């Protein structure tokens, strides 16, 4: 499992590509894309991730999943939480930053992915033909996942 700075969590190998391709990918690489875009955390922002079995956090996650899937009882036994906090885009000449998060969680039978978005201020970096001042235009971010 790899948390990539470009807003992708990959399972087999890193995803170094910053301009997203349309889903499904031709090579079938499995990954989760909370916000696949031209992230440049050197210009601003931080990326945090951790695997946890902390009971209080797992209880909150279990409650969130059960709220949306009430007919499928779920008690999380582990989770990976990855957060991109106020990350900038490549070539940015602004102070814009995006904050988003992915929670991968499971028990012995089921696996869920929760995507959380706090603040999205840009969609595209300059290397993906986006505007350096606005972070808009060009090839925008993609969100979702790809099975293997």
Contacts of 35 (CB under 8 A, 6+ apart): 7, 84, 98, 100, 117, 120, 141, 143
pLDDT in tens, the chain (148 residues): 899 999 999 988 888 888 888 777 777 778 899 999 999 999 999 999 999 999 999 999 999 999 999 998 899 999 999 999 999 999 999 999 999 999 999 998 999 999 999 999 999 999 999 999 999 999 999 998 766 5
Instruction: Give the Å distances, CA to CA, from 15 to 21, 41, 93.
Output: 11, 16, 25
Give the C-alpha separation, 74 to 95, whole Å: 40
Token readout for 118 is 């706090």
């Amino acid at each position: 499992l790899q948390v990539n700075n470009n807003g992708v969590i990959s399972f087999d190998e890193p995803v170094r590509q910053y301009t997203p391709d349309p889903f499904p990918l031709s090579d079938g690489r499995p990954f989760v894309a909370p916000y696949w875009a031209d992230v440049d955390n050197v210009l601003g922002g931080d990326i945090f991730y951790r695997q946890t079995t902390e009971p209080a956090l797992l209880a909150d996650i279990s409650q969130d999943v059960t709220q949306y899937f009430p007919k499928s009882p779920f008690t999380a036994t582990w989770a990976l939480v990855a957060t991109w906090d106020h990350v900038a885009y490549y070539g940015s000449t602004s102070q814009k930053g995006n904050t988003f998060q992915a929670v991968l969680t499971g028990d012995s039978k089921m696996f869920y992915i929760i995507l959380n978005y706090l603040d999205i201020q840009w969609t595209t970096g300059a290397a993906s033909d986006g505007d350096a001042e606005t972070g808009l235009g060009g090839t925008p971010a993609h969100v979702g996942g790809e099975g293997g």
